[in-house]
Every structure is written in C-alpha cells, then in structure tokens.
Structure 1
C-alpha cells in the first residue's frame, strides 16, 4: 500500500512593529470619519465646517484633526465635552456664531491648541479660569462680543499667550489684575471700546508688550505718564478716539516708539511736545484729524522718520520749513485736504530721500508756485492731483511730467481790483452799509483793509461796529459819525499788489436833516409820553384831597381856637392865671 505525502501549509509570520503599524492604520481609518456636512482634507488633517448652517457642534469630528473650522454658523452653545478627544488640535475657529456663554472646562484637555478664535459672538462674560487646559495657546481672539468687564485672572493658565485681541467690545472696566497671567504677551488690541481712560494698572502687568492698539476712550486728554513700565513697546496705535484733542507733553514719556498713530481723533494742531522725545520714530500717522495748521519745524526732532501721513485734515497750505529736518522721509501723505499750495521750502532739504507725495483730492492752485514741485520728479502715487484753480485749468489732472506745464500753463498774474463800485459814498448815520472789494489774479489775491480808525495794515476782523466778513467785505452795523473817512482796499499775491480808496461821508442824525414825516411822528410820540406821565400825577393828587376832605367831615365839629396856659419865669408864686394865657387859631 502506497502511502501519499501531504503538502505542508505555508505559515505567515508578522514582525511586531509591522503589526502595530497595521493596527494604527486600521484605527486611523476607523477614526477618520468626516462629519456629513463638513470637508476633511487629509493632507493637513483639517475639518472644515465653515458656513454649513450648523446649530450644534458635530459629534464625529476625527480625533487626528489639527484644524477645526466651525465659523459662520448658528451655534448657540457648545457642550463641555465636545473637544476633549481632540488631543492633536492646534487651531479652533468658533467665530461668527451665536455663543452667549462658554461652558466651564470646554477647552480643558487641548494641550496642542495654539490658536483659539471666538470673535464676533455674543459672549457677555469670561469667568476667571475659563481658558485653563490650553498651556500652548499663543493667539486668542475675543473681538466683537458683548464683554463689558475683564476680571482678575480672566486669562489664567495662558502663560504662553503672545497675541490677544479684545477690541470691538463695549468694555467699561478692566481690572488691574486682568492681565497678570500673561507674562509673554506681545500684542494687545483694545480698539473700539467704551473705557473711560487708559487702563494703566492692567497694562503695567505686561512687561514684554511690543504692540498696543487703543480706541473708543471717552477722555479728551491723554495724560502724562499714560504708559509706564512698557520698555519694549514699539507700536502704539490710538485710533477712533473721537474726543482726543490734547496730548500732554509727557504723555509718551518712557516709550521708544518706532510707529505711532493718532487717527480719527480731534487734534487741531501737531502735538510737538509729546513727540519731541520720540527720536526713533519711523512711522507717524495723524490722519483724519481736524489739523488746520502746520508749525515751522514741528517735526524737526524726528530725524529718522520715513513715513508721515496727514491725510483727511483741514490744511489749506503748507508753510515754509514745515517738514524741516526730515532727511530720511520717503513717503508724505497730504491727500484729502483743502490744500491750495505748498511753500517751496516746505519739504525737507535735501529732497533725495522723498519718493512719494500723495496729493489726491486736494484743491491745488495750478500756477507758477507748483513748478518747483513738478521739477523735483516726485511720484504722486495712487490718484493724481487735480487743479482746482484758476478757472481755465479747473479739473485738469496734473501729470508727473512737467515739461508741457511750466511755464506755459502754470503761470502767475498780479492782482487787479475789479467791480469796486462807487469810490465816494454818502450815507446817513444809523444806516446799514456794506462795501465790497473784488480782485482777480493768479494765485487768488488776498484782501486787506486799512481803516481810518486803524491806519496800520493789520488783519483786524472787527473794530468799532465795523466787521470784515469772510468774503472780505466791510460791514457797518450801523453807520456812525466816527466812521467817516478814507478806507483803503489792498489786494496782494506773490506777484504784486493793487489798491484803491473808498471815501465815506456820514450825515449826522439831527433835526435839520430829519424828514417832516419823521418829525411829525416824533412830535406825536412826545405828546403821548408827556400825557402818560402828567395825567396819573394829577389823578393821584385829586384822590388824596378828596380823601382828606371826607375824613375831616367824619370827625364832627372842629375847634378853631385853643387857649393854652403857661407859667412865666418871674411869677412862680403868683396865683393870677387869667393873664398867663394865650390863644392859638387852629387850621
């Protein structure tokens, strides 16, 4: 009997490490289910649920997700255990939802989280310790909520936080200990709040702060020493502080800023004293302030300044030496000002560093005064400036190439006084009188009046019932006799001047010159006044006499004689009294 041989079955042997890898892949595959309304790109381990009309957080978020985007949904509440399994999560975005509160422990157990975005929700309070459990967090954004107060230890446990955004909240108070747990914080946003003043006590707990943005504070003055104990602060932005009109001389003391801005405020002048010590400043922005005048050498100490913005102000002209000392200036923004001209020596000298001069939406007078500027070869950048005057060039765009403009089109003409009216005027005292003086010229001449009451050529707008109105007309309200005399109108521009005299004669207000109708009316008025004074007096006296008569009649018979005895000095012992009497007649 022949015995058959059996073929041995092959055996499979897996090394332990390969087995572990297979199990890991299997677990990863089982745990990587993407929530139905979301997208889960595997290349960066992201779970993207942005704008998915979600009202709650999905429950099956992959555990290996590093980025979770739940922004722009309708989530009102998040259970405290929603993210506890996401140990690898590095960025969590819950912005633009309807969260009104944060559950305690919601963010605990997220050791790898670095970015947390909660901005533009409806949060009203951040309880102390609410952010515990995120030791690696470096960026926190709670802008655009309804927070009114930041309590002590609000940010407890965030020792590595470097960037904090708390602006766009109706904050009324920040506790002095609110930032105590943030020793590494470098950037802080507090713009668009309702704070009453700079939170000095809270800011002193941030020794490494390098960038600070403030806004919405109600005070009109930035007080001295507003930013103490901030030695590393380099960028300070004070924006949208509508009432801020004064920076006290030492308000920036202790700071070494490289960038400083005060925009959308109420500054009317350049804060020279406050800026004087900021010698390392490279960027200065004073846009959107009602600044109407630039002082000569107002920026002379800022010799490292490279960018200066003065747009959207009320500047009508730039005087000589306005930017003296700014040898490193590269960009100057004067756009959106009612600017008519710049003095030839207004810009820094030498002009080698200045590259861009923004003059869009200004009111430039296109005359010979601009030729020096066009020959410098500056770039106007953005929108080119447009001529506002003279009438022949109004609306013309000023190109960068000046060859065809100067001196053929951009010319100057001396002033000529026109339409003055009568040179000799005769008016009555008490009349209302207006004298105008119009002139033509390029650039537009300025008008000055020399008054007989003030023979010196001075800019006096009001004197002795004479007013010089903004349109340079003389207004007498009313005319008086002392106003008689010769008035000189002087029109002046950079090319020359023109003048003319106006002689005023005032007829006094007296009887000889009063019309008969006026005299009759005044006579009637005098009679009425006299009668009104005499008649009450006569009536009063008559009533008094009648009263006395009636009173005397009511007293009965009246004695008309009285006998009075007396004792003579020499007859003290005599008894004869008949002769010691005298009789008086009573009325």
Structure 2
C-alpha cells in the first residue's frame, strides 16, 4: 500500500508524473515478491537460493524433515540420526541428496522412486545399514554417483543396480562384502570408477564384472582374493587402473591381464606369489607389457623367495610343461587333486591317448599309453590292469571334472602333490618318470641264455691261457 504523501503526489502531479510513479511502485512491488520464497524453510534448516539449497545437517533429525521446498536442487541431511527411508520420505525433487553419517538401518524398496532428477546420492558412513532390499534404488535412472562406503554391507541383492544406466561412480569400499554375484553390474554400461577395496571378497568369477565396458578404474585392494577366473576381466577393455595389492593371490592367469590391454597403472604387491610353473603365463605377460607396475615378490618356492616374479629368467621355466589348452585357468598347472583332476596330453583327449595311472599315498602320475610299448610282450594284461588307477567308493562318488567345472576347484589343489608333470616326449633326461610294473624289469629267456654263453666262453679262455 502507498502512504498518504505518495497518494497526494500522484493526485496532484501531471499525468506523466502519475504514470511514472505508478511504474516505479509496481517495479518495487514485483521485486519484493520475487525475493520472497514460495515455501518456507524447514525448522532448524538453512535455505539458499540459486541453486535452491536446503541444509539440515547436524540437527539430530531422526527422520527426513517435512517442509523441504519441492523445487530444492540440493538437500543436505548428513550427520543426523535418521534411521529409516520410506517411500513417502521425500516430498521434493532434487538433484543432490546427502544422507551420509546417519543411523540408517533400513531403506524401503522404491524409497527414492520419486526423485527422478537425482544425480548424486551419498549414503556412506551408515554403519547400521547392513543389508539392502532389491529395488532400493528403483527409478534413479539419471543417477550418476552413488556412495555406499563404510556401511557394513555383507551382500548385495542381484538386482540392486537394475536400470541405473547413467551411473558413473560407485563407492562400495570398506564394507563386509564376501562375494560379488554374477551380472551384479551388468546394467552399469556407463560406469567409470568402481571402488571395492577394503572388503572381504575371496573370489572373482567369470561374470562378476560383465557389462562394465566403460570402466576406467577398478580398486580391489585390501580384500582376501585368492582366485581370479581367467576371463573375469574380459569386458574391461578400457580399464586403465587396476589395484589388486594386499590380497591372498598366489597366482594370476596371464589371460586376466591380457583382457585389460589398456591398463596403465597396475598394483599387485602384497600378495604371496608362487613363482613355480604356475607363474609362467603371468611372467610372459610382463615380458611384453609396458605399464607402471608394482613389484611382485615371490613367496615360494624357497629358492626364489624374495625375487621379483617379473624379472625371472626364461631358464627358470625350462622344465615346466606347456600350458594345458583345455584349462579354464589358462595357466600351466603343476599340481592336481588326487580325487578330481586328470592330466591329458596336449592333443584333444581320446581313448587312445589316456594315461596309465598309478595309485600311491602321495601322488597320481600319468604317462601316455605309448610308454607301454617299452613293456615286453610277456607282460600280461593283468599286470597292466593292476597298474591302472582304481577308485575307491569315496572317489567314485565324486563328480567327473569337465572343463566347465574347473573353476569350482580352482586353487584348491592338494598340497601333497608337488612333483612336476611332463609328457613323455617333453621330459628332460633323467626326469623321474613313473616306474614300470615289476614284470617289465625281469630279464627275458634270450637275455639269460646270452649271459650263460658269455660266462662259459670266458671260463674256457681262462683255462687255455692259464
């Protein structure tokens, strides 16, 4: 409203003056309206315009406060005591939502489904959040950054990242994850950085990272990883940084790193590397690699302890068998289970190339049937049959090993089986081949007759000369 003086001025002035005065008051009035927020700011919160920001941090809220303006672009709710997130918790539209350092224990499926414009969600440092429901992030198809570090998560539902096509940064470090389900990340085609360090992961299966075709950084250090499938990283052709240090890796198939041809920074230190024949494919990878790599100190065998696997000599692997082309590990495996593993020749196994197996308390040795040609024809079929490997009831009940089943037992070889294996034509001189059956070592009748004749002739010459 205008005061009396202003009204008198407008009544007494000229028409032009009256029009100018009205325009000035309208301008001031509209300016005042534009500075007044459409909605009030929640109690105990501070609001800022351009962009519309609502800051409610460290106010001991136990739930998401009501009254947050619908058009808020950034909402900060960190360092409170919020315990649950429900479908009706968010009555506003925002692009950035910070909920880290609360006491969240449960997130209802679809809790964020109304936040269609959300690009960044931070749920880190919620140590009471130990599990998530499938569909917890349903509807967040524009989400680009998701923080769930230090939440004590032990497992992730198989569909937790379903349809998060825009996600680029995923922070899962310092939880309690024991494994990664197959195809867990298959929808994250635009993911650029994945942080999984500081968990309890033990194995990386063939399909653990399937779909991550644009991944640039993968951090897996400080876990308990012992086994990596040779094709675990086959979709990671754009990876430039791979951290696997401080794990329990004794060996790593060379194929794992060949699938990540773009890697520039590789950290594998802090693992108990075994530098026997099983390390050959990894050693061969480093021979041609031009990357920034950490040291790989050998833990075994004792003769190589403390050496760097990368700098071993070719002669260190001279007595190693060639890699088994049928092995899913893609490496030369020198130890085999006495119950579930068989050793075949380089050619495709057929009935005529199967080995004769001898059973002992410590090892199972094999050599091709061609070695049996050295046996004399006098050796009976029963003698050969007695040398074949015989299964007891416990062993007969075990599943037969197919190539597809290799991964189920990968890395669990019997520790007692430590001898090197070689094929007959590849064995170096003096190699300890399996001993032949006793019947094969007996002299033939013709050999015995030759010895007798030679002895008689020698005696006769001695008597004539003497």
Instruction: Give the Cα–Cα distance (whole angstroms) in 1 for the partners of residues 178 and 432 of structure 2.
Output: 34
Unaligned regions of 5+ residues in structure 1, if any? 1-110, 113-126, 417-434, 440-448, 461-469, 474-488, 502-587
Q: Cα distance, 1:222 vs. partner?
A: 2.9
The residue correspondences of 1:15-414 to structure 2 (distance < 5 A) are: 128-131=42-45, 134-136=48-50, 146-153=60-67, 155-156=68-69, 159-162=71-74, 164-174=75-85, 179-181=90-92, 183=93, 185-198=94-107, 203-215=112-124, 216=126, 218=128, 220-248=130-158, 250-256=159-165, 257-349=167-259, 351-367=260-276, 368-369=279-280, 370-381=282-293, 383-397=294-308, 402=310, 404-408=311-315
Greater strand percent: which structure? 1
CA contact (8 A) 1:359 1:380 kept: no
Say if 1:133 and 1:223 are closer, same or farther in 2 by CA, change over 3 A. closer
Q: Cα distance, 1:347 vs. partner?
A: 2.8
Deviations 1:235-266 (A, max 9, x none): 22221221431323x22223212222322233
Q: Cα distance, 1:136 vs. partner?
A: 3.9
CA contact (8 A) 2:183 2:211 kept: no
Say if 1:340 and 1:165 are closer, same or farther in 2 by CA, change over 3 A. farther
Q: Cα distance, 1:343 vs. partner?
A: 1.0
CA contact (8 A) 1:135 1:159 kept: no
Say if 1:180 and 1:335 are closer, same or farther in 2 by CA, change over 3 A. same
Instruction: Give the Cα–Cα distance (whole angstroms) in 1 for the partners of residues 222 and 205 of structure 2.
Output: 18
CA contact (8 A) 1:297 1:325 kept: no
The residue correspondences of 1:420-431 to structure 2 (distance < 5 A) are: none
Q: Cα distance, 1:308 vs. partner?
A: 1.9
Aligned to 2:257, the other structure's residue is in SS state: coil
CA contact (8 A) 1:136 1:160 kept: no
Instruction: Give the Cα–Cα distance (whole angstroms) in 2 for the partners of residues 409 and 363 of structure 1.
Output: 19
Say if 1:345 and 1:328 are closer, same or farther in 2 by CA, change over 3 A. same
Deviations 1:24-54 (A, max 9, x none): xxxxxxxxxxxxxxxxxxxxxxxxxxxxxxx
TM-score by length of 1: 0.45
CA contact (8 A) 1:324 1:347 kept: no
Greater CA radius of gyration, 1 or 2? 1
CA contact (8 A) 1:219 1:244 kept: no
Q: Cα distance, 1:221 vs. partner?
A: 4.1
Which of residues 394, 407, 410 in structure 2 aligns to 1:454?
394
Q: Cα distance, 1:371 vs. partner?
A: 1.5
Q: Cα distance, 1:342 vs. partner?
A: 0.9
Instruction: Give the Cα–Cα distance (whole angstroms) in 1 for the partners of residues 46 and 200 of structure 2.
Output: 46
Q: Cα distance, 1:388 vs. partner?
A: 1.9
Instruction: Give the Cα–Cα distance (whole angstroms) in 1 for the partners of residues 271 and 56 of structure 2.
Output: 40
Q: Cα distance, 1:337 vs. partner?
A: 0.7
TM-score by length of 2: 0.56
Q: Cα distance, 1:208 vs. partner?
A: 1.8
Q: Cα distance, 1:298 vs. partner?
A: 3.4
Instruction: Give the Cα–Cα distance (whole angstroms) in 1 for the partners of residues 47 and 284 of structure 2.
Output: 65
CA contact (8 A) 1:490 1:500 kept: no
Aligned to 1:246, the other structure's residue is in SS state: coil
CA contact (8 A) 2:272 2:297 kept: yes
Deviations 1:68-101 (A, max 9, x none): xxxxxxxxxxxxxxxxxxxxxxxxxxxxxxxxxx
Instruction: Give the Cα–Cα distance (whole angstroms) in 1 for the partners of residues 240 and 48 of structure 2.
Output: 44
Instruction: Give the Cα–Cα distance (whole angstroms) in 2 for the partners of residues 201 and 307 of structure 1.
Output: 29
Aligned to 2:197, the other structure's residue is in SS state: coil
CA contact (8 A) 1:170 1:194 kept: yes
CA contact (8 A) 1:178 1:202 kept: yes
Deviations 1:293-334 (A, max 9, x none): 222243232222222222222212323212123222222221
Task: Say which structure, 1 or 2, has more relative contact order (CA 8 Å, 6+ apart).
Answer: 2
CA contact (8 A) 1:322 1:347 kept: no
Instruction: Give the Cα–Cα distance (whole angstroms) in 2 for the partners of residues 459 and 491 of structure 1.
Output: 23
Deviations 1:211-247 (A, max 9, x none): 1122426465432221123231122222122143132
